[in-house]
Copies of this chain bind each other. A is one copy, B any other.
Amino acid sequence: MIVGILGAGQLARMIALAGYPLGLRFIFLDPSSDACANSLGEHLHGDYNDPRLLAQLAERADVVTYEFENVPADVAAFLAAHTQVHPAPKALAVAQDRLIEKAFFHDIGIPTAAYSAVDSFESLEQAMSIIGWPAILKSCTMGYDGKGQSLLKSAEDLKPAWDQLDGVSAVVEAFVPFNREISIIAARNVSGATVFYPLSENLHRGGILRVSKSCDNDPMQKEAEIYISRLMEALDYVGVLALELFEIDGKLIANEFAPRVHNSGHWTIEGAETSQFENHLRAILDLPLGNTTSVDKTAMVNFIGGLPLTNDLLTIPNAHLHLYDKEPRKGRKVAHASVRAKTTEELESLIKKLTTLANQVDNS
């Protein structure tokens, strides 16, 4: 069985590593000649919208999936017409545009922060009179790791933030005074069976995820499962889905979703009975989904822009290193490490050791 993946970055790499034990082989389409999953399968080298390569991918792969949501609509449509593609193009279309995404959340009863569409400086000013300060201005498309976002603290911030958008459509959202950032990851297979992972508690800095921790028996688990279930049903979703949420005084509001395996679920490799990567493959191949129960307490720390010495990392007890085989570069996720522990105290001590190393080399 051959799985085709659009993209050959670290997510594709970890999907492939989870897939070999299931007897799968991989074919990647990626424009980069040294994309980090290339050595784990066949590499179709070229643009994502190259019709010849897309035809090859559709022809050769039994099923196609992707590691990023910004797949051009015509590419997704071409693939869907020629082979099995999971998740389906609809999930991409919704996830690619913040305004469509927020309207979608609203339609299925998932609360969000107050927001308003913005297509001119005047409409931004008008929206702010309703939403109130502080707020965040975000481009509707192509935003990730905090890119295309500006914090609006006072009227002075409006003009520079608007100019930075350079005319692209945008949405302004109320800034949420959250208690915690969390995410829920779920998988749904072709037959409709669904599993949920324990919540991840996430720490971002500079718009980039830094640390995720698994949360067993979290009081917000049930509410998060209800929301992500609605999302999966409404999208007739197949694969792993991640929903990012804010907790405010015991209530959840949705931030955004990612129709793919997600950085906040990397801890599942060591920390759950079945990883998000394996369950994504099981889901798109319509195999029985694996148990998502946590294995001990687990946390994951990202390395951004720089790497400590492998020797220093592996000296940390129970540190599981995941190098992405990417050249360090400013703002680039180049590795993560996970730790498992029996107690919260032990876990916090291990997280501290990892974040100390991560901060020493940070270039974000």
Contacts and interface: CB of A to CB of B under 8 A. Distances in A.
Interface of A: 13, 17, 20-23, 25, 39-41, 273-274, 282, 287-288, 290-291, 295-296, 310-311, 314-315, 317-318, 320-323, 325, 340
A278 to B, nearest CB: 9
A20 B25 contact: no
B325 A23 contact: yes
What's the dominant secondary structure at chain A's contact region?
mixed
A254 B41 CA distance: 42
A322 B314 CA distance: 26
Contact of A317 (B291, B317, B323): B291
Given A288-B311, A314-B290, A40 B20 contact: yes
Given A22-B321, A22-B323, A288 B314 contact: yes
Given A273-B340, A340-B273, A322 B21 contact: yes
- In the A-B complex, the 8 residue pairs with the closest CB atoms: A23-B323, A21-B322, A288-B314, A288-B315, A287-B314, A23-B325, A291-B318, A273-B318
A320 B321 CA distance: 21
A340 B295 CA distance: 10
Q: Which of A13, A21, A282, A318 has the most CB of B within 10 A?
A: A21
Contacts of A282: 314
Nearest to A319: B290
Contact of A310 (B13, B22, B295, B317): B22
B21 A20 contact: no
